[in-house]
Homo-oligomer: A and B are copies of this chain.
Amino acid sequence: MFNAKVKSEILKDIIDIISPLVNEIKLNITSKGISIRAVDPAHVAMVDLEVKSNAFEEFKAKEMELGIDMDKLGSIMRLSTAGDMVSLEYDNDANRLTVRIGNLVRKMGLIDTAGMPDPKMPSLNLPAKVVLKSSEISRGVRASESISDHLALSVNKDTFELFAEGDTDTVNLKLPKDLLVDINAPSKCKSLFSIDYFSNMIKPVKSDNPLTIHLGNDNPIQVEFDIADKKGHVTYLLAPRIESE
């Protein structure tokens, strides 16, 4: 049983976060809320998203799983406008999700979740932690996209740095302590990442929203931020690229 009502903005945010990474997902539902954990097809990135029941206007659910095509849900949500309230209800007989927006009733076929993996969140020991507004690094990421396919992120005592290098060009963004919300780095840490993946991770974050980054040395990066008015939380993991030189 699943019967919920939620602001269209929250559903749209979830779609913006998940769909650049993976299209077919398993939506885990309990009485406490919903969650999604998925790995991208290339096994480079993982996303873990949860939204508590109190982020919904109404929420009644028993434990269950729904297989959702994010592209399809996205095309349905494009029918809603800001401020619309959206109802979601599981139709047990037809195995479909009924989405109601105003007078519109849209029944959506579900995907079989049988083959879908239950990825485990690896336990990582990432020594450095930086908290910043996503707007502070988005320019650096966009600048890097036009000269390379990977970028380096590094932290030392009081500076967070982004660096990318092309054949003749370089991008460098240094954020000193006063431009960061928080920084904590016992030692210098540096890792290399795919720009495409990293860009997709920070794009859905509202520009004023603080982003928490955990970084190690040639280790995955962990990016976290709140959604749904702090009643939801997203954690991304992205594997490092190994420097060839």
Binding site for B on A (CB under 8 A): 72, 75-76, 79, 96, 101-109, 136, 139-140, 142-143, 146, 167-175, 179
A109 x B168 contact (CB < 8 A): yes
A105 x B146 contact (CB < 8 A): no
With both chains docked as a complex, state the minimum distance between the C-beta of A162 and any C-beta of chain B, in angstroms. Answer: 9
> Which residues of B have CB within 8 Å of A143?
76, 79, 104, 106
With A96-B168, A109-B169, A167-B109 already in contact, the answer to whether A179 and B79 are too (CB < 8 A) is no
A179 x B106 contact (CB < 8 A): no
A139 x B108 contact (CB < 8 A): no
A101 x B139 contact (CB < 8 A): yes
A107 x B170 contact (CB < 8 A): yes
Q: Which of B75, B79, B96 contacts A139 (CB 8 A)?
A: B79
With A103-B179, A168-B96 already in contact, the answer to whether A79 and B142 are too (CB < 8 A) is yes
B169 x A105 contact (CB < 8 A): no
B171 x A104 contact (CB < 8 A): yes
Other contacts beyond A105-B173, A107-B170, A109-B167: 10, CB < 8 A = A96-B168, A103-B175, A104-B139, A104-B171, A104-B173, A105-B172, A106-B170, A106-B171, A107-B169, A109-B169
B168 x A104 contact (CB < 8 A): no
Inter-chain CA distance A109–B105, complex, in Å, is 49
> Which residues of B have CB within 8 Å of A76?
143
With both chains docked as a complex, state the minimum distance between the C-beta of A195 and any C-beta of chain B, in angstroms. Answer: 14
Inter-chain CA distance A106–B168, complex, in Å, is 11
With both chains docked as a complex, state the minimum distance between the C-beta of A190 and any C-beta of chain B, in angstroms. Answer: 17
Q: Which residue of B lies closest to A97 (CB)?
A: B169
